[in-house]
Amino acid sequence: MALHSAVVHATVHVPEGRQSVSAVEDRFRAGSPGIPMSRGVLQHMYGLSQRTVAPHEEQPSDLAVHAARSLLEESGTPAGKVDLLLYAGILADMEEPATAHVVAAKLGLDCPVFDLKNACNGVLNALEVADSFIRTGQYRRVLISSAEVSTRESRWSVTDPDEVMGALPSLSTGDMGSAVLVCASTRPGILGSRFFANSWGWQAATLPNPYANHRTMGRLEIDSARLVDSFDGMPAKVRAAVRELGVDVDDFDLVCVHQPSVPFTRVACGWVGVDPSRILSTFPAHGNVATNTIPLQLATALKSDRLHPGDLVGMFGFASGASAGVVICRW
């Protein structure tokens, strides 16, 4: 009997802390005297209303653990039944060891673990890896965990007006943890995935490693126009990949796209060929939660009765680097 993999459940941990867009702008003005910022600019440019903020004492592993514990409980999966843990967040507790070890220790897991990182596409790549491991019989249950505390990378102090546009995206990020469970199945669940890269565009969005920068945390710098340009040619490849996998975008019962802002979400929908009205909009109330955006949309769809067994789901990611990918699954 052929072995397949299926996405069993998705859960997110949304921190209770909130920061309104007006509070974000006020703090930026206080930290950047002499730098003009019109009121409402973040809402106008990005569509942000508020963002989620984690408690200062919590690390990425803590947010990932909160989400994973909820997932294991909701799916009825004992911790001892997890065969592999993947941590796919951009931000980590430390450089060494892998944050996956920290997450596993807090969950009481004794399975193999490792970190997997590819900017905001980390969770989608983890789904690809989990699918491959399961279909080859290496593991039966793979727990994917992720978390971001991106609000801590917000650039509150800017002295040069020319730096403002590169700093503003850091003010629209949000904190969150997420977890996705992928299990062996006798029926096809994950139907296929395809990924592409334009690595020449890596400089469009960067957060330097402190150990490569004389132990000083680098600044999050995003050139939005350059980032969009770095996806040159990828939309056509993604649409072709969907067709290659034998699916039409109109066939999807649920479409999830990475949401770093409301305008970019509309652009991504155009790239994919999907009407933006079909997307569950998560950015305005949470901010750009990076690797958590796809799990957040899945969890939101489950809670709002928008996702049911047998539904066809298309997950599309566009991340800095640049990379693009699609994962198609039957729920």
At 278-307, the pLDDT tens digits run 999 999 999 999 999 999 999 999 999 999
Rounded distance, CA 196 to CA 118, Å?
Answer: 12
Instruction: Single out the residue of 328, 308, 302, 307 nearest to residue 316, CA to CA.
Output: 328
Q: Which residues contact 118 (CB under 8 A, 6 or more apart)?
A: 88, 125, 319, 321, 323
Tokens 């796919």 locate to 88
Give the SS3 label for residue 210: helix
Residue 187: DSSP 8-state: S
Would you state the pLDDT for residue 65? 98
Would you state the pLDDT for residue 245? 93
Rounded distance, CA 224 to CA 164, Å?
Answer: 12
Rounded distance, CA 175 to CA 22, Å?
Answer: 18
Would you state the pLDDT for residue 237? 94
Whether omega for the bond prior to residue 10 falls within 30 degrees of 0, making it cis, is no
Residue 311: DSSP 8-state: -
Rounded distance, CA 189 to CA 177, Å?
Answer: 24
SS3 for 239-280 is: HHHHHHCCCCHHHCCEEEECCCCHHHHHHHHHHHCCCHHHEC
Would you state the pLDDT for residue 289? 98
Instruction: Single out the residue of 213, 206, 249, 212 nearest to residue 230, CA to CA.
Output: 206
Rounded distance, CA 117 to CA 24, Å?
Answer: 28
* Spans of the chain below 50 pLDDT: none
Alpha helices in the chain, H assignment, sequence order:
21-31, 41-46, 60-75, 99-107, 122-135, 164-167, 224-229, 234-244, 262-272, 283-286, 293-303
Would you state the pLDDT for residue 214? 53
Would you state the pLDDT for residue 2? 67
Rounded distance, CA 268 to CA 199, Å?
Answer: 19
Residue 96: DSSP 8-state: S
Q: Pull the structure tokens for residue 189.
A: 């669940």
Express each pLDDT in 217-266 by its tens digit.
Answer: 567 778 888 888 988 998 999 999 999 999 999 999 999 999 999 999 99
Q: What is the pTM of this model?
A: 0.94
